Amino acid sequence: MKNIHKVMFLACFILLALQPESFAQFSLVGQLRTRTELRNGLGNLAPKNASAAFFTSQRTRLTFGYKWDRVQFQTSIQDVRVWGQDAATINNIDGNRLMVHEAWAEVTLANSADTTIKFRPIQNLSLKIGRQELVYDDVRLLGNLDWLQQGRRFDAALLKGQHKGWALDLGVGFNQNTDAFGTVGDNYTPGNVATSTLSNKNVSLTIPAGFIPTAGRGGAPVLATPLSTNGQNQQFKSFQMAYLTRKFNQTKFSALFFKDDFQKYRADSLGNATAGYVYGRRYDVAGTNSRLTYGAMLVGQLGAGSPKSSKVQWQAFAYGQSGKDRDGLSIKGAYHYGGNVMFQKGLLSVGPGYEVLSGNNATTIQAGQTSRFDPLYGTPHRHWGYMDYFYVGTGSPAGGLQDAFLKFKYASTRLTTTFDIHYFALAASTYNKMADAPTGALLSSKLGMEYDFVANYALNKFTNLEFGYSVMNGTNSLEYSKQGTMNEKNHIGTWSYLMINIRPDFLAAKPATK
């Protein structure tokens, strides 16, 4: 924590040394967010008779911004840790979790309101470059994953244009592991892994660069969690995107094209005769597997939306995927579609919704193919249940997902409460391959019911308190499709948390007292 204190002190000193009239150009916002959780079946069903987990995690973030007519600059530094994760006194080998979350600048290339800029074919044009968040639409496919204490960011360049109501963003990113002298080629190892692991004979083996251990064979232990794009265990090699949007009265249209490329790999093993073997993936194969995601979303509102009137908010979307996934499987007919509506009257809102993410139909899928839709780099926590059973680091069923839900909301000046009910089911047929199941038997499609309650209270201008309680009533289909067992897990999962979010604006003027 010593480093972040130095950064905060230096930033404050610089800003206070400036003339008061220049404050409008600068922003300095802090955040201290703690979340205390009681987990007993979050993400996956817990083993029977297992004890619940209890801990507090903390994010400390400092965001500095500067804005001029033709340049915007922002840097966000954060520290993430679990209380007690470090000893009260640490030494150098313990390291730290201080990192740069954002560091970007946006340069204005064209602005029709600025008479000193001669370039006029487009009303507004800017280039945003550096480490930044990508937040689009409802963060379904591209988002900052703010719920996760670490968040999500991208090293990228965005060319952003606006003209006569239309807005178009063109983005690119290219990742590499090192800029060290002697490096040749541009093969990319797509994840942070430990420098050593255990073989099947409990001997520690050094893992060379470009090698990621996976599940062992021949009795060897599982050496790493499955790779997952949305879980950010397999970073892309590069990406290219285009995002187009326009608002027509109270309806907003948006279209997305996103291509991400994954480094090819080959199956390999490491070890010796006395230590056993470690099996994994070696990322030294030339070329990439490229995946295309494309689709559109409509969001609209009916009614004026004044505090005492009624209004209806609605959303509909459809996306498809093609190309090859990160493992080189050909993507055939992968899709994601859905819609929802919310009816609001005064402080109360209620509304249903339904959506589908395609999966593999076990009765028709061919070798070398996949029909699983991967929701890219969004915020699954916001959409498919707060207990994070689907499309996060805990994995998701190969058969895809159907989600039928009903949401309730009460929003007053300081207090907001929500209550969501989800019915989860498989989207495609999945075989039951348990030893006692008949040949060709299929799993029941029902995965379970989830109930999520959240209450958020604004204590003051800078402080929010949030309490949440969730229950998953799962089935054997959920247990088997996620964990490969039946009747070995507790089918009732619970989770509760208390989050304190303090976001002071260090340059905000204090209201005058009367």
Per residue, the 3-state secondary structure of 253-272, as one string, reads EEEEEEEEEEECCEEEEEEE
Radius of gyration of the chain (CA): 25
User: Across-strand partners of 315?
Assistant: 299, 340
Nearest-angstrom CA–CA distance, 33 and 451: 25
Question: Residue 200's Cα: distance from chain center in Å?
Answer: 33
Q: In the prediction, which pLDDT does 457 show?
A: 97
- Rounded CA separation 472/423 (Å): 10
DSSP H or E segment with residue 411: strand 401-411
User: Residue 221: what pLDDT?
Assistant: 43
Using CA atoms, how far apart are residues 488 and 476, in angstroms rounded to an integer? 9
Residue 474 in domain: yes
How many Cβ atoms are within 10 Å of 215's Cβ, its own excluded? Answer: 13
Distance CA 190, CA 210 (A): 9
Determine whether 143 is exposed, middle or buried from the number of CB atoms within 10 Å of its CB (0-12, 13-18, 19+): buried
Query: What pLDDT is attached to residue 46?
Result: 93
Residue 513, domain member (yes or no):
no
- Distance between CA atoms of 344 and 418, rounded to whole angstroms? 13
The confidence score (pLDDT) of residue 11 equals 54
Q: What is the pLDDT of residue 305?
A: 56
Closest listed residue to residue 150, CA positions, set 99, 104, 189 = 99
Q: 474-502: b or e for each residue (b if 16 or more CB lie within 10 Å)?
A: bbbbbbbbbeeebeebbbebbbbbebbbe
* 427: exposed, middle or buried (Cβ count in 10 Å: 0-12, 13-18, 19+): buried
What pLDDT shows up at residue 239? 94
Q: Does 128 reside within a domain? A: yes
pLDDT for position 86: 64
Q: Are 183 and 246 in contact (CB under 8 A)?
A: no
The values of phi and psi at residue 208, to 5°, are -75, 165
Backbone φ and ψ of 13, nearest 5° = -65, -45
Residue pair 34/57 in contact (Cβ under 8 Å)? The answer is yes
The pLDDT assigned to 109 comes to 87
Give me the pLDDT at residue 1, please: 46
- The pTM score is 0.86
Domain count, the chain: 1
List the domain range (segments joined by +) for residue 48: 2-502
Cα separation of 142 and 96, whole Å? 28
- Residue 468 in any domain: the answer is yes
- Residues contacting residue 113 through CB under 8 Å, at least 6 positions apart: none
In a 13 Å sphere around the CA of 343, the CA atoms on its Cβ side amount to 4
Question: Could you tell me the CATH number of the domain that includes residue 323?
Answer: 2.40.160.100
Tell me how crowded residue 314 is: count the other CB atoms within 10 A of its CB.
17
d(CA 451, CA 423): 9
User: Among all chains, which residue has been given the structure tokens 């244009």?
Assistant: 161
Residue keyed to tokens 């003051």: 460
Contacts of 148 (CB under 8 A, 6+ apart): 381
Run means of pLDDT, 10 residues per run, the chain, 514 residues: 51 51 74 93 91 90 89 90 66 59 84 77 90 94 91 91 95 86 82 61 74 58 49 76 96 97 88 70 90 97 75 97 94 97 95 97 94 93 95 88 98 96 97 89 96 96 95 96 92 96 84 56
- How many residues are recorded in the chain? 514
pLDDT at 306: 61
- How far apart CA 362 and CA 368 sit, in angstroms, is 13
**Does the residue 74 lie in any domain?**
yes
**Rounded to an integer, what distance in angstroms lies between the CA atom of residue 43 and that of residue 255?**
31
CA end-to-end distance (rounded Å), the chain: 40
In a domain, residue 137? The reply is yes
Asked, for residue 315, whether it belongs to a domain, the answer is yes
Does residue 256 fall inside a structural domain? yes
